[in-house]
Amino acid sequence: MTRYILAQWKKHLLLFSIVVFCFTISGLVLAIGVGIAVENSKLVSDSSSGDLEDQSLIHIRSDDQSPLSMALIKPLSRFGEVQVLNMPSIEINKTKVFPVPVFFEKEEDWHIPLIKGTYLDGHDKSVIIGKVAAEKLDLTEGSVLDIQGQALFVKGIAGRINRNTQWDDTIYMWFDTYDDLFGSFPLNESNSLQCLIKSGKKELNENFLLLSDEYKEKGLRLYNEPLKESLGQTSVTNSVYMTMIGFVLVTLIILLNIINIIYYWFLERRKDLAVLKSLGADNRYLFKWLVIEMITIVSIGELLANVIYLSVWYICGNRLPGDINASVSPLHFLIALFASYVTGLFVAWFLNRRCIFVDPVITLKSN
């Protein structure tokens, strides 16, 4: 049967090429849609630094303007990772960077995006540095950064390869590292520290009054600022769904046209199918090989589509032509595999209903 299928591909080479080409185009359209949607999803997460619904922004104010020690902020980490956002900038080899002291008891499900390396794990002498600052300082993953005579291990490079982010000029470090380098947290002009708590919003809200009383006894005031999704984030979120819907619809239209082409191709093979049935092949046997043939054809198209997509993406610098932001992820290959099986089975079922249940006597007589 394999030889028969290959012979049919060779005999109807033009039709076979058109079918593979159409599947390649449909796969490419779907890959582009997935790539843009995934990148837009990352953009939403980046703009809100993860799950906005579970985060809290706490302001700690001191009436006497005295610096705050790390010990005063660490208790907040029982709810989730704590990041102090409004530290004054520091200058390293004439390059201005913005330090973000971090402390957590366990790593969050979402952390700042990393181009290289891994996130902080509590090791005091390691840092995460933004890609722009790293480029200016000629640093990469595994480099050693000297700040005020202390050697710090660069654990990772933060940001996105294909676009700018808010982390490009930052340097993330453990609370203890910041404390060793600069001492207590200085208060800024607003006389407050902004602490982003990455998770545990519900638990924090339930215990906020008790927490406020604890800090009031230390001469500090606590304010909980709600984080709201911006209009821009809403627009990007909507564009994710619209992108996927649009590309899926285009893909379905292409697939419907492919079915018509394949249907014509198999009508040309009715005589061969009738001969096979007259020799003893039953419907189950023919359907099995029809499924194998269709999944093989779809897989070839999907493979070509993803190779083209990946090639264009790399050639254009991790983007698509026209400076369109897009991503490459395992999702592409999972969808390609899913499309291969589902489309192959659907087309095979359609053709099975139309072409396999033929009467050998009538078919051979009419031909």
40-49, 74-83, 139-148, 261-270: the lowest-pLDDT one: 261-270
Q: For residue 232, what are its two tokens?
A: 């821009």
Residue 230 has pLDDT above 50, yes or no: no
Mapping DSSP onto H, E and C, the string for the chain reads: CHHHHHHHHHHCHHHHHHHHHHHHHHHHHHHHHHHHHHHHHHHHHHHHCCCHHHCEEEEEEECCCCCECHHHHHHHHHCCCEEECCCCCEEECCEEEEEEEEECCCCCCCCCCEEEECCCCCCCCEEEEEHHHHHHCCCCCCCEEEECCEEEEEEEEECCCCCCCCCCCEEEEEHHHHHHHHCCECCCCCCEEEEEECCCHHHHHHCHHHHHHHHHCCCEEEEEECCCCCHHHHHHHHHHHHHHHHHHHHHHHHHHHHHHHHHHHHHCCHHHHHHHHHCCCCHHHHHHHHHHHHHHHHHHHHHHHHHHHHHHHHHCCCEECCCEECCCCHHHHHHHHHHHHHHHHHHHHHHHHHHHCCCHHHHHHHC
Mean pLDDT, the chain, whole residue set: 80
In terms of pLDDT, which residue wins out, 280 or 325?
Answer: 325
Query: For position 340, what pLDDT does the model report?
Result: 72
For 123-145, what is the mean pLDDT? 91
Residue 216, CA distances (Å) to 73, 74, 196, 296 in order: 14, 16, 20, 70
More confident residue, 190 or 318: 318
Mean pLDDT of 18-23: 83
Q: How confident is the model at residue 232 (pLDDT cuts 50, 70, 90)?
A: very low
pLDDT above 80 (res 260):
no
Query: Rounded to the nearest 5 degrees, what angle is found at the Cα of 16, between the Cα atoms of 245 and 260?
Result: 50
Mean pLDDT in residue range 274-281: 68
Which pLDDT does position 158 carry in this prediction? 95
- Confidence at residue 108, expressed as pLDDT on a 0 to 100 scale: 87
Task: Using the CB atoms, write b or e for 289-311: b if 16+ within 10 Å.
Answer: bbbebbbebbbbbbbbbbeebee
Instruction: Give 155-207 pLDDT, tens digit per residue.
Output: 999 999 888 899 999 999 998 888 888 876 666 555 678 889 998 888 988 88
Is residue 100's pLDDT more than 90? yes
pLDDT at 279: 67
* Residue 62 pLDDT level (bands cut at 50, 70, 90): confident
Q: Are 196 and 57 in contact (CB under 8 A)?
A: yes
pLDDT, average across residues 104-133: 88
Read off the pLDDT band of 332 (50, 70, 90). confident
